[in-house]
Structure 1
């Protein structure tokens, strides 16, 4: 898990932020209209429009806080740096409210301009005061009592590890509890053992003293376990590129922890449901035609159900149109994929598709060429087992041959299309495919999904699925 104390604090602060934003607007409305401090004017009638607007403004501002990194570890541990973010976000919210008013011709909270000004001042004061005074003292009191301490593991060169330990103590002696330092015989198994036995929350890796391939797998291990990860590095040139630089008492470290993408994931799920449902309704006649042709072409069921490995290793039944003859031998594909993963790719044939595979039916070749066989997976998307965009779901025997860093692609929902499908489709080698998937995991956002979906259409038309 991400650092215990930070996670608890973030949840408390997010709910407090919501309360303060709502309170600020209601207080401003009351102060302007009912306190007697301002000249009397036509009273504002509080309606359902005000309630809906207040709800929307609150969610919008929390989203801006989140997008600007107010809840990120980098800014979270340094509360003074949060002040300009709070002011900027409040101003953006006011602009949003003005724009909303212009579009809808509704004027909730804008009946008197002083209401917005008062709400802005009160909100800034309360948000800053709670962060710099109330929360600081409250959480430090809990940490002094041992509540919410972060168990830390330091891995790497001994002298640097000792300097880092002192720096963490000086930075916040109550927050970090050093459980162990590993400087010799550093392997994935030894570090994993320490993580499990010491119940580690946060890991600091020192690049100097760790073999590079081991370091890559160690970082993947920690990220797969959702731990807080920091790296002391002179160079940083591998796939995990979505990083933040921070310092602990003058020692620069790179934060590698997966960013919280709750809002993007929520929007992604809404899009998945709407798009998959619409496409299923539109494609229903097409599905019926394909089903009839499949039955005429060869004996066997219309659909092919195959167990795949989804997010965090959870298995599910993936649905496809059947493109192979009934009772085909799966060992051929298993041997091919196992060799591909272990030895690497030596030609430009498909990653998972054997060239001129005799097991494929006549209609199957056509369906695969245009990826029509994948369309039933819209049902998997609707059920929440898959997403429209994401790494392709592997078969269990493929995962058995993965290195630790390969497993990073399993940290998100699998998708119908993804980075490697629009970057060369089946001509991409296995290692490159994994790197592209990891890039997607680390840099996911809604706009990236939209770009991938748009690029998928010409890839299908060009028959790059062959």
Structure 2
């Protein structure tokens, strides 16, 4: 275990994976409360809270009270074995919510099968109340837990310590990803090279422990209190060495994660295919046509129409405030680049003075952005009314008309300006393989606080990996982001 030249002191256990134990217990408690509440509401709505109704049919007729207790306990148990409380998914909205829904459906499917086998006549209305009430309750409580977990991880707590093994370039990129995705819950505490190889770690954070060659995985991981060893995609480690690494950790509390040389591909496009004992990753190519795009287009237009009706009066008040605040039109129409690199007129409420475009050239030297996107936190071209509109993203509301007209989607990449497109590097245009969005990953991941490179990466990731479920999560996260006013200027 040579070459520990720039070590860090071990983290106290309360900051390490010890938190996962009590976190699972806390989540288990809240899950049980939600399940109990859901079946109690269903029982009360269907039979009355003082009712002692019993199931009909079958050789034995238990009471609904007894059945409700069994369903609540079974629901709680299914959420546990379904992995919804696992440390690896806590704080990850889509994965956690998917496991919640999957476990809930399975519980009620089992209840239906038991009823069929025993010929019990379970009230369908009772089940139709219990399931949605319980799922919504789980979404709300887990959402609150997620906010708390994110707040703690932003402070550096509730992190799992990891030791990364691999070549310097792969380790460096993986360390940057972990550092940028702190809310995922992984903290790099050490790095090591593949046995028989040496690496120059001079460019890494000096607080990360260098362990030299990974010759004794269990001892070296224990020395830095790592809960996981992460193998960064490398050709230097043979199949046999990978196998030996897994054997070395057998029986310990240290997990093994493999990071393949494959980035920004979502789970639905990745499938594991076992071939002669090797887990091969099959990555399906992204598609940009098909039924799901038709469904997305229909939902976009319906959603835009409903939102336009609901926001008609607030938009009228905003228009009056804009006209009263400064001379000029209510709307700002700007050409943006949309699907297939085709331009379209994008609508916004005017948030700047009427001569803003003419004054841009004088402000370019104060650009706080990176790459092709101009950013300036204290832009003097923004009106007082416009600053308030931007803080809550209200200036974007007229884009609902763009969605209704088919220029945009409710969720998608950020619609770029033509001058931005002229400065794009290779492959950035792939973000235009889907319609630009009123909101998107860029909106819920930092908004204007993001660097140009990170904005592009998120847009490309969305374009190739989007799903209807993911869009729903982004919309819910957008509401929270707007209310927090984070990254808006």
TM-score bracket relative to the smaller structure: 0.3 to 0.5
* TM-score, reference length from structure 1: 0.45
* TM-score, reference length from structure 2: 0.43
